[in-house]
Amino acid sequence: MPTSSHQRRAAQRIEPAANNVIERVTECCMDVNVKSAYIAKGRSGMAWWLIWGTMMCAVLVAGVAVFSGEPLAALSGGVPFLLIAASGFGATLYIWPLRVWRTHLPLRFNRKNRKVYFHWKGETYIEDWDTLQIQFKEQFVFSPIAPPSGEPQINVRFHDRTGKPFDVLIVTELHHLPLTKVEQAAALAEYIRCYMDEGPEHLPPVHRNRFEADLKLAEIVKEFRLPKLWRRDHSFTTNVLNLFTLPVVILWDLITCPTEIIFYYLTRNIRTDPFPPEMEAPCRCDGEPAQHGSE
């Protein structure tokens, strides 16, 4: 792909790297989640946090009912507010992240025919890999709960039927590497280039945290064991602080453990839209279907 972006990448000598933005890799095709899908369905993405918010309300409602001793009085207090908040989290979860999860197909890079596909609202856009324009940059984002920050972003240039260009965004986070934001984006761009030009056998492993890895449910639940109240290898001050923070740890686990269980089943059972035939048929290599999601 003879673009200035890749010339800059070669000068920087960035090694290929990727995180769970990579949806699937086969001999013929690689699927890469676009920015909206990555934000919506990734671990600690919007779907995860909305489930967490719903569970937080449920745990707090249960706590009020148990410890108040007067369920009727509790109903006239904060319980209605928590129920309304839980309903809001649940409705938002259904309306946006789950809808994005089901309907936003990833970009498909086909090394067999050297094409790149993007499907949006019933229309499939196709570009040649050898002339594809890719730009990597640091995109500043704003959050209501955190200060503005930069995120590594790749802009992939497509053209509509009239020839008008538009960019499809891919965001990645490679915090485990000592790279700047732009270099992290360049590392993912190099990962894609390595796949297209050299093949999947030359790719490094995708970096995933312990929850994004293919853990079994029992292994996930084990993550939420209560810590030891007093440890000999800790200082007296640390042990005292751990005692004071224990209620917070218990509350966090009561909310997060069910969230992880729900998210675990969601990632394995959610039904996603199939790829259209023009994207699916070219990716059938060695008799293996390359279908994304559930039919």
Query: Can you tell me the distance from the alpha carbon of 267 to that of 222, in angstroms, rounded to the nearest whole number?
Result: 19
Q: Which of 19, 23, 39 is nearest to 176 (CA)?
A: 19
Phi, psi angle pair for 78, to nearest 5°: -90, -5
The mean pLDDT of 121-125, rounded to a whole number, is 91
Query: Can you tell me the distance from the alpha carbon of 262 to that of 266, in angstroms, rounded to the nearest whole number?
Result: 6
Query: Is 143's pLDDT higher than 60?
Result: no
Query: Can you tell me the distance from the alpha carbon of 119 to that of 105, in angstroms, rounded to the nearest whole number?
Result: 7
8-state DSSP, 214: -
pLDDT tens digits, one per residue of 239-258: 677 777 777 888 888 888 88
Domain spans of the chain, in order of start = 4-283
Query: Can you tell me the distance from the alpha carbon of 231 to that of 247, in angstroms, rounded to the nearest whole number?
Result: 17
190 with 3: CB under 8 angstroms? no
Burial class (CB in 10 A: 0-12, 13-18, 19+), 171: buried
pLDDT tens digits, one per residue of 204-236: 888 776 666 566 777 777 777 766 666 667 677
- Model's pTM, two decimal places? 0.77
